[in-house]
Amino acid sequence: MKIICIGRNYAEHAKELGNAVPTEPVFFCKPDSAILPKGNPFYIPDWTDDIHYEVELVLRIDRLGKHITEEFAPRYYGAVGLGIDFTARDVQDELKKKGLPWEKAKGFDGSAVISQEFIPIESLPNEAIAFSLYKNGEQVQAATSADMIFNFNQIVSHVSRYMTLKIGDLIFTGTPSGVGKVSPGDVLTGTLEGKQMFQIKVK
Ligand code: ZN
């Protein structure tokens, strides 16, 4: 399976990082080795001083497809989970400056938190799926899917023009504003429609 991540999909987040709002989806991949095993704490790697959390809605692909139109895109995903796209912001900034790929900053071990549970799309609100992230009990990010620049169908359609989507592939759909640094001892809790989806200890 592969993990595809959409960048800059919320206007306020693009602004907070000083990026232009994109005219088509920006995406990159994480390897499957990036998945943080269930129940494990997140260990800050020794090569970075600036790990940021990015909470994101995660789509699970459950039908193989390519060149999927927006109209038919809903047939290709059936459930939504919640994840964190951990990012070494210091490393990413250096790579960006040099025009280099982001994998070191985005694809390292443990950088993909994915909820165990995925909620069937039909039991979620159509237009605005609410999600949030708490750091040590304080809300740091909150948004709904209605705030996305590119919606689920546009994302699935766009990505599938470049990469065949396979059953089990996951798409991180971008993070809203409020990203920030984690420190050892922090506890990150993610909620989807008010339901706790994960709790991660940072070490
Ligand atoms: Zn992200």
What does the pLDDT look like over 23-72, one tens digit per residue?
A: 999 999 999 999 999 999 999 999 999 999 999 999 999 999 999 999 99
- Tens-place pLDDT, residues 87-142: 999 999 999 999 999 999 999 999 999 999 999 999 999 889 999 999 999 999 99
- Gap from CA of 45 to ligand 1 centroid (Å): 18
Q: Is the pTM of this model over 0.75?
A: yes
> Are the C-beta atoms of residues 117 and 83 closer than 8 Å to each other?
no
Phi, psi of 116 (to 5 degrees): -65, -40
> Are the C-beta atoms of residues 14 and 148 closer than 8 Å to each other?
no
- Gap from CA of 81 to ligand 1 centroid (Å): 14
Please, what is the end-to-end C-alpha distance for the chain in angstroms? Answer: 28
CATH number, domain containing residue 75: 3.90.850.10
CB atoms within 10 A of CB 55: 29
Question: In total, how many domains does the chain have?
Answer: 1
Strand order in the sheet with 87-88: 87-88, 51-53, 180-181
Tell which residue, 62, 182, 70, 176, has the closest CA to residue 129: 176
- Gap from CA of 65 to ligand 1 centroid (Å): 24
Print the domain residue range for 27: 3-201
Indicate if the pLDDT at residue 175 is higher than 90: yes
